[in-house]
Structure 1
């Protein structure tokens, strides 16, 4: 019971991680079994105290033979998952469980890694520069890709081999390994580090990439020659973003490697704006229905890109299920654990896969070492025997009940095509090679000194693992062109090759390096693609994997309710707003004097609008204005040439010529309303219009009064004529006009008209127009003109029944009627017309009223003068109606 309690204490000690706690508990039970035999031996002994002391020395695991071993002055441990599975043991809790045992197929690549460790140690032992005269030995174990076995193996590295077989009161530490290389899996490495860490035994892993292992507070003795997954996760996120994939699926191993690696990737992906449609976890131990469920999720997903952060064995079972019922082509993005694994390369559905891998390397002499396996060497190792029999499908020796053929010695490793003999893609193998040399250099620093240009080493010097640990932190060397050093977290500088799975001429797949990622470079230079990539469908076009198509410039993204940020609708920018980038989340408002183009991608200066001489409307109005002025001048010429005729003389020729002059000015002042407005033109157009029209109406009013006075003068005893002679007529015109001039002067002095850029009437254009300055001034000018026109109209109506032959009042009545009608309709038209049409309405009113006056008053006279001269006689004018 005491032993069981101690085993449980070990389990509690190992439970910072739940998984390790369970593994440790299983180990405690196994430990209880292993120690049971020793207890029985103790009972047979006469000295119980000696037995107790022996048990104290054997608390650290059960003796277990290594896969490979070599004697040496100093021993280095090695752990590699050379098998895929751990034998499942059924526990009935009535008897002790069976010892842990590996089972399943052999991972020949991991076997190659273990041989690389042995090769490196042999190479160091034959070196005259590194540890001369000192031999290194090794104990290499198989972890079966299983944390429980990794824990069991870890205890082997903490024991003195001699104390396992003799009763001693004090456990010796001289037999402990000085350092451990392995494991390839992150979870197994964590398990080992938890065990050997308290003994200060350094651990250098060639393939454990979990970012969690960089935490020196938890794993103070852990180093690795492969970069942390933190760098790989960032590189993978940038890779996905580089190709525009924002809608992806993810699959990870349900282990420390997969879960931590995927967590780092998802954090990096979120910063890059990448969304995940699904995230599934698997292990090779999952039941078939779980694997089928994950495969079905991949088949039904809309995401065409799958990022797999998995161990090769875990991905293997998923790919086998996907092969049964293939899904549409998926672009696989792989982590370094499987993207260069030759056993996974046989799955054609991964064609076009890309991912980051450790750079290729060359190790001189390694291939020859691998192939140098004699039958004697093979028979001496149960692991090599299993490999040989599996590779050549024969038995090294005839076994009872076995029907297989016996190996006859013709087997040739040269012709063997598997991961063990394939040295064309030495990636992780070089990480093992570098790890061995790192430990060797650390030991060299402790044992060797340079005396008289010669290196001398003391192989009898006792050194502790903690000393090797301290020296490993300072290691800095190069071997075969590859630099080896560790940062404060025990990590090397991150450098990856970008691998692409391309079809070859034999119909298979091969690894092709298409780019690089170097963490030591500046941010803009870390990622570099050098060759064309072959994609999942075998083409060269980058596949599209998005939840929503990109929003073009001129639109903005609106998130779909209840969906990730990568799922959105594209909505056109609102009026007056633009977006000039793809997938813009918002539109920007244009400055006041700018407006979006038709596509709403850029702000362009607003169209400036005013009544121009170059547009059709301006040309027409200018033509009518000039034509009206010319017509008025022609009329004046006709009347002047016939100024002595009765028609001209009878209708007050002086006022007629003054009226024609004012009408000419009215026609011409309309031209000031056309063209680009300025402060001066704004003041001129309104004042010129007001004064010329008052002058015109004053002349008409004078002519109307003259008509009335003329007929009043015919009444006996009337002396009206002398009160309204030529002098009085001039004074009347000047007086009425002076009032308008005075109003305009006051308007100009107090608050004159000015030019403005109207930005409110139209959103898309600027109206150049004249502001009134003082609306009161403008309406005073118009009101005064209207007052005179109404007064003139009333007088003309009063004189309309006088004899036709001597009467202009009827013509003036019609002219004033037209004049008043035009300006009455002008008011609503003026106030409601936008932009340049306001000016056009004003010009039209000026021209219409001016043409009304000239046609109504002067056309009949000119007609008589030019076409009816017989009526242009005094006799006719004096005739009766």
Structure 2
């Protein structure tokens, strides 16, 4: 411990001196360079400068600063270094040209320089030679307040510089003390008085006789020592901008407070071994270190002074700005401060209205590797480059980003989709066969028209039920066939509109039963035609006996009941359900009815097809039989239309997406229904309404006779 040399520095800033293992008795009142770096990082972050260049000197001052920048500046602090260059110590034009060329080509608009004044001057000469403008300079305290750079040659480039400067302070009574100093004419040989005499002769342009040793002054009046110094204004009596001196002031007061605290120690209650106190006459440096570590006071200027575990005082810096005035003069003004307090942590204060920006816009420049990614895009890092260099990639469909500089795009909820700008989610478009769209309107009108025609035809047949043409064509089956056709037309309406549970369950059941009822009636009518022909042959009367009205009704009922049973099993085992389909279009919700059981749907259609084929075969066999009204031919033609429609339906239905599948099914229902209605009842209505003279028993019998004779 006796080897300790206690030091309280006012000007040594190297971060290396904060190593307590190497320098256990070193204290300082000037902030270390690590805090200066941190202050610069806070300024970068304040103005959104995420991309900056760094120039350093190749000494401890620059190297330690570079280490701090590389460790502290990154994504967490909001920035990256575009380049780090070491300024050459000697005359090296080629290296300077290379460095300035790097600065000129870089997209970084902010340049931080951690260097002494001599290397800064050499650098600026090359900057002027290459005419590199449009840069925002940021300086360390080593050159921020140096006037030699504030010249008309450099200011077009360095104007607007933001720099870190040692804290300016005031020392009460210093100016009064300086103004009281007078030369002692009787003690010229003392070192102190010699300095005062030299100052006096320089200030008042006079000389003492004989002149002090080492002072050369030719001519001029003799100094009296009574000259009025209060009227003098020069740097030696100017106390308005004390910076290193203010740190000296704090260092002296820190020692004074430490000594005062030590002298207040009461014997037997001291901090050292056996509760002893330190004595001024035999003071050990390590004892004073103990008291210095506990110093805590506030200067008259309002700054708190205390030392941390590394011997560093609470740091504070002024932030300076170089203003280039229109008349060519330079003004270095204080625009803020950065400090660390014991309670609030680090604080940056900037008066942006006072800052001079050396740009046409008079606004802070942008210094980023890549411009911000707007909403609707995400940042994609460029391979091999720092994190702040990225491309803006648009979000893919179904994903959005609603903030600037998003790292990822987020997926929209299930029932939502991304907007065209990819910056917010919008409800997905819904698609089904709407009643109010043109296709839905056409199908609805067609369905209602078919129903209306069925009602009209039924009315015609009822009104003319006693006429020969109605009676000759099995009026009861004709009435039942018209009712079933009307149901077929109406069931098509269940396929229009948004699918619900009840419509999904009812639409196919109603469709299947209605068509089976219709085809069953046609099948029975065909069988009746065959039975009548057989009865007309000798010995064939028994065929009509076994296929009378009761048997006809029973056959229709049994055939329809089979379809009803198929539908019941289907609905109970795997009922059709409403389904939101997103397979065809990701940005749409297609509401459709899932058939539930494909087998059930296939059996339903297959049963209808089986009956239709049987009816067609029976009718085809009976088409050449003698019949006054060619009923078998009409049935054959109607069933041919029916089968053709439904054979074409299957591939069209399978290949049609969404609502178009429903439209295809409705079209098949309507087309087959109209085919049956027109083919079976068109000719009869024509005779009833337009050729009533043919609607007589005589005409019918005459036709039969003609047919038999031919």
In structure 1, how many angstroms separate the alpha carbons of the residues matched to 2:321 and 2:374? 31
Quote the offset at 1:665 in angstroms.
0.9
- Tell me the equivalent position of 1:461: 281
Match runs of 1:439-838 below 5 Å: 439-446=255-262, 461-480=281-300, 481-504=302-325, 506-520=327-341, 526-532=347-353, 533-537=355-359, 539-719=361-541, 720-803=543-626, 805-838=628-661
**Is contact 2:304-2:314 (8 Å) kept?**
no
- Tell me the equivalent position of 1:257: 61
**Is contact 1:305-1:333 (8 Å) kept?**
yes
Pair 323,477 (structure 1): closer, same or farther in 2 beyond 3 Å: same
Q: Deviations over 1:627-664 (max 9, x none)?
A: 22122112211221122222222221111111111111
Q: Structure 1 regions of 5+ residues with no counterpart?
A: 1-196, 451-457
- Tell me the equivalent position of 1:225: 29
**Is contact 1:515-1:528 (8 Å) kept?**
yes
**Is contact 1:592-1:759 (8 Å) kept?**
no
- The alignment partner of 1:471 has SS state of helix
- Tell me the equivalent position of 1:175: none
Quote the offset at 1:772 in angstroms.
1.6
Match of 2:158 among 347, 350, 353: 350
**Is contact 2:398-2:412 (8 Å) kept?**
yes
In structure 1, how many angstroms separate the alpha carbons of the residues matched to 2:295 and 2:116? 30
Quote the offset at 1:524 in angstroms.
9.8
Q: Structure 2 regions of 5+ residues with no counterpart?
A: 267-277
Pair 842,367 (structure 1): closer, same or farther in 2 beyond 3 Å: farther
**Is contact 2:451-2:489 (8 Å) kept?**
yes
**Is contact 1:284-1:317 (8 Å) kept?**
no
- Tell me the equivalent position of 2:169: 361
Q: Pick which of 404-413 and 642-651 moved more.
A: 404-413
TM-score, normalisation: structure 2: 0.86
Pair 524,635 (structure 1): closer, same or farther in 2 beyond 3 Å: farther
- Tell me the equivalent position of 1:438: 254
In structure 2, how many angstroms separate the alpha carbons of the residues matched to 1:591 and 1:361? 61
Match runs of 1:186-197 below 5 Å: none
In structure 2, how many angstroms separate the alpha carbons of the residues matched to 1:460 and 1:848? 119
**Is contact 2:207-2:221 (8 Å) kept?**
no
- The alignment partner of 1:323 has SS state of helix
Higher relative contact order (CA 8 A, sep 6+): 2
Quote the offset at 1:498 in angstroms.
3.5
- The alignment partner of 2:668 has SS state of helix
For this pair of structures, how many residues does the alignment match?
A: 678
In structure 2, how many angstroms separate the alpha carbons of the residues matched to 1:432 and 1:850? 108
In structure 2, how many angstroms separate the alpha carbons of the residues matched to 1:706 and 1:737? 18
Match runs of 1:58-457 below 5 Å: 199-270=3-74, 271-282=76-87, 285=90, 287-346=92-151, 347-348=154-155, 349-367=157-175, 369=177, 423-446=239-262
Quote the offset at 1:290 in angstroms.
4.2
**Is contact 1:201-1:469 (8 Å) kept?**
no
Pair 587,645 (structure 1): closer, same or farther in 2 beyond 3 Å: same
In structure 2, how many angstroms separate the alpha carbons of the residues matched to 1:779 and 1:419? 106
In structure 2, how many angstroms separate the alpha carbons of the residues matched to 1:562 and 1:308? 26
In structure 1, how many angstroms separate the alpha carbons of the residues matched to 2:565 and 2:158? 95
Quote the offset at 1:618 in angstroms.
2.4
In structure 1, how many angstroms separate the alpha carbons of the residues matched to 2:83 and 2:136? 15
Quote the offset at 1:827 in angstroms.
0.8
**Residue 658 of structure 2 is aligned to residue 840 of structure 1:** no
Pair 589,376 (structure 1): closer, same or farther in 2 beyond 3 Å: farther
- The alignment partner of 1:260 has SS state of helix
TM-score, normalisation: structure 1: 0.70
Q: Pick which of 793-802 and 658-667 moved more.
A: 793-802
- The alignment partner of 2:85 has SS state of strand
Pair 226,539 (structure 1): closer, same or farther in 2 beyond 3 Å: farther
- The alignment partner of 2:352 has SS state of coil
In structure 2, how many angstroms separate the alpha carbons of the residues matched to 1:323 and 1:610? 72
**Is contact 2:160-2:322 (8 Å) kept?**
yes
Quote the offset at 1:359 in angstroms.
4.1
In structure 2, how many angstroms separate the alpha carbons of the residues matched to 1:409 and 1:821? 134
Q: CA RMSD in A?
A: 3.6
